[in-house]
Amino acid sequence: MAPHTAAAPEHTAIRGEHECTPIPKGRILEASNLAYTTDMRLATIGTAVFACIAGPASAAEEYCKEVEVPVTIMATVPALPEIFDLPSISNHIHLWLGFLFNLPAQGRYTIRATHCTSTVRDPENNGRLQVLVHGICGSRHFFSGLESPSLGIGAFGGKNYSYVDYALSKGYDTLAVDRLGNGRSDKPNPFLVVHLPAQIEAMNSLLEQIRAGALGKPPQEIIWYGHSWGSILGQGLTTKYPRAVERLVLNGWTAFIDKAGMTTALRLQFWPARLADARKRFTKLGWGYLQPSSEEGMTQMNFWGAGTDFDGAHYDTAIAKQMWTQVGTVAFGELLTSALLNGVPSASFTGKVLVVTGKHDDFFCATSYRAGHVDCGSGDKNGLGGSWSYVQDDHSILARTGKQAFPRATRFDYFVPPNTGHCLHQHYSQKLSADTTEAWLRETLPTSARVSRSGAEAVGKGADVLLQHDEL
């Protein structure tokens, strides 16, 4: 049964503080004219290749509103300096070697987000909520075409790059979240509060309240959909709270952050946001809130081909400009604790996981200290310099991620979109990635939730080959 669009009146969404404006209907992640190769592989650990199912493309009709949810956190964290200065950072460098001291982080804060409910009738997906969690220096608007209501910037390409619109068109509800310390959510101490352990507690508190009806009728399922640091957070959440979500979709991520990845991050040239931001948006933030000061470094890390002879071949250079215009902040505590805790095994999580990471993700799949040497598809074999010291076989870094991070998952799958860098939602391949994710979500539904779908067609019409199955 193919989903169809239900009639609905004109709808509004809260923009900025209190301003309400109509949400335009537009094209939903329209496919570009791309030439795909056999690098489009979906590898499945311990499972068979699945049939790819896609419904008809139709504009999403939805109701969106801004929501505020108070969260309570209590977390044990490494001791961090309260004052940002070079001597104090130097004195705490030992934290990179482990947790030598512990301090409790606790408090009550407000998480702000945009909640959208789909009016597309789809018996399989209706009632399922995708919680969208962004990476560093971003906000909830990363998933809605990089719009920025506070800056008067609309969605890039008229919603063509909006994953929110895509998910709504498939019948899912969405909750695009500003993580604690980001966007319009509260911004507490960037050393002692805004870090991975506290973020885990904040998101677990949020999800518990959603299940208790904070957004209205409790969803029948919560799906975690993260990008970059939002994926680190999702994996960390299931390490401590293995029943927090049923399924995870982790984008722009692997379980390993090599030193080459850290070198790549240094190209961003982080400075205190109150000094670095040209728009003077963060003059009241603490010194531990940082912002990239190098547009070139940020673009090269996020977009495949930036700064090369084929710059712009796989992404629109204008979208990179728009991303830089609205670049946000990252707390020092987030940078430190993500390096310490990324990939710690979710030993008790028995749900299902999909990882979607661009073949040329310059942060999570670097193969050399030299820029541009990166390969997520075959990390230890085809790198142009250096190798992954912990890779013991010929399998990709993403296959290794499954063994490392989710040893007891019922199912672990990964997909490597070709010609794609870290910000895969802003590359021309975004339609392929979105379709693959949707096919996986339908394939991994509980048997009792599946609806017979006749005339199903394979996703990724630009592809000339079937997505491949790769056994570990």
Q: What is the pLDDT of residue 215?
A: 96
Q: What is the pLDDT of residue 100?
A: 35
Residue of 425, 429, 442, 456 lying closest to 165 (CA atoms)? 425
CA distance 228 to 421: 12
- Note whether residue 461 is domain-resident: no
Q: What is the pLDDT of residues 271-311, one digit of tens each?
A: 999 999 888 999 999 999 999 999 999 999 999 999 899 99
Q: pLDDT band at 28, cuts 50/70/90?
A: very low
Q: pLDDT band at 267, cuts 50/70/90?
A: confident
For the segment 131-153, the average pLDDT, to the nearest whole number, is 93
Lowest mean pLDDT among 81-95, 208-222, 430-444, 448-462: 81-95
Would you call 159 helix, strand, or coil by DSSP?
Answer: coil
Q: pLDDT band at 103, cuts 50/70/90?
A: low
- Note whether residue 131 is domain-resident: yes
Q: pLDDT band at 34, cuts 50/70/90?
A: very low
Q: pLDDT band at 196, cuts 50/70/90?
A: very high
Lowest mean pLDDT among 67-71, 252-256, 260-264, 302-306: 260-264
What mean pLDDT is reported for the chain?
77
Is the pLDDT at 446 greater than 90? The verdict is no
Q: What is the pLDDT of residue 453?
A: 54
Q: What is the pLDDT of residue 454?
A: 43
Range of 437's domain?
4-449
CATH code for the domain in which residue 84 is found: 3.40.50.1820
Q: What is the pLDDT of residue 151?
A: 79
Beta strands in 252-382 (DSSP E): 270-272, 289-292, 330-331, 352-356
Lowest mean pLDDT among 250-259, 260-269, 365-374, 377-386: 377-386
Is the pLDDT at 395 greater than 80? The verdict is no
What percentage of the chain exceeds 90 in pLDDT? 55
> 234, 353 in Cβ contact below 8 A?
no
- Note whether residue 308 is domain-resident: yes
What percentage of the chain exceeds 70 in pLDDT? 71
- Note whether residue 29 is domain-resident: yes
- Residues paired with residue 102 on neighbouring β-strands, in sequence order: 78
- Note whether residue 9 is domain-resident: yes
Domains in the chain, number = 1
- Note whether residue 463 is domain-resident: no
**What does 396-456 look like in DSSP terms, one character per residue?**
-HHHHHHHHH-TT-SEEEEEE-TT--S-GGGSTTHHHHHHHHHHHHHHTS-GGG----TT-
For the segment 162-181, the average pLDDT, to the nearest whole number, is 98
Q: To 10 degrees, the CA torsion angle through 434, 217, 3, 172?
A: 0
Please tell me which residue, 469 or 165, carries the higher pLDDT value: 165
Q: Which of 13-22, 91-100, 291-300 has the highest mean pLDDT?
A: 291-300
Q: What is the pLDDT of residue 317?
A: 97
Q: What is the pLDDT of residue 17?
A: 34
CA distance 424 to 420: 6
- Note whether residue 472 is domain-resident: no
Q: Please state the pTM of the whole predicted model.
A: 0.79
Q: What is the pLDDT of residue 190?
A: 94
- Note whether residue 78 is domain-resident: yes
Q: What is the pLDDT of residue 264?
A: 76
Q: What is the pLDDT of residue 189?
A: 94
> 238, 248 in Cβ contact below 8 A?
yes
Q: pLDDT band at 75, cuts 50/70/90?
A: confident
Residue of 13, 42, 1, 15 lying closest to 435 (CA atoms)? 42
